[in-house]
């Protein structure tokens, strides 16, 4: 098996949470409707401050239930839209580290609990 280098998305590759960009893209692509859920910005801010916790992981698991029935094509479009915004937010040191690992023959893996359809376009944009 070839060696790999793993990079966490939120608070490592990105300076904070990817959630705000992903949520905005889902709204713009018609997957989510209306305004952000009350307290959403507070939750993202808390995540930026202290990272993932057991309660936040529980909320994320419960949130998956709401994605049932989403239009897969619209979710993919949201992933592309989010990637176009997030790619410019990748930490400069992360780009250097990824390039170093590539030169040394390692595959790059983005570790995240975010859905694959939303994150795969960012991975493609980062090579």
Alpha helices per DSSP H over the chain = 19-28, 40-50, 54-64, 72-86, 92-103, 116-125
Contact between residue 101 and residue 3 where contact means Cβ atoms under 8 Å apart = no
Residue 63, pLDDT score? 62
Confidence of residue 121 (pLDDT cuts 50, 70, 90): very high
Predicted confidence (pLDDT) per residue in 10-48, tens digit: 989 999 889 899 999 999 999 988 777 777 777 777 666
Residue 61, pLDDT score? 66
More confident residue, 72 or 45: 72
**Tokens matching residue 127:** 């090579």
Residue 4 phi, psi (nearest 5) = -140, 155
pTM: 0.83
For 10, 20, 29, 78, 82, the CA distances from 52, given in Å and listed in that order, are 9, 15, 27, 23, 21
HSE of 43, CA atoms in CB hemisphere, 13 A: 17
């Amino acid at each position: 098996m070839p060696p790999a280098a793993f990079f966490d998305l939120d608070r490592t590759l990105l300076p904070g949470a990817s959630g705000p960009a992903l949520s905005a893209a889902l709204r713009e692509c018609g997957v989510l409707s209306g305004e952000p859920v009350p307290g959403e910005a507070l939750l993202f801010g808390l995540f930026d401050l202290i990272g993932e916790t057991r309660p936040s992981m529980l909320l994320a698991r419960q949130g998956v239930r709401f994605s049932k029935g989403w239009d897969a094509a619209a979710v993919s479009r949201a992933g592309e839209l989010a990637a176009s915004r997030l790619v410019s937010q990748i930490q400069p040191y992360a780009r250097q580290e990824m390039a170093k690992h590539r030169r040394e023959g390692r595959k790059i893996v983005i570790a995240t609990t975010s859905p694959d359809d939303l994150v795969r376009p960012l991975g493609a944009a980062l090579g």
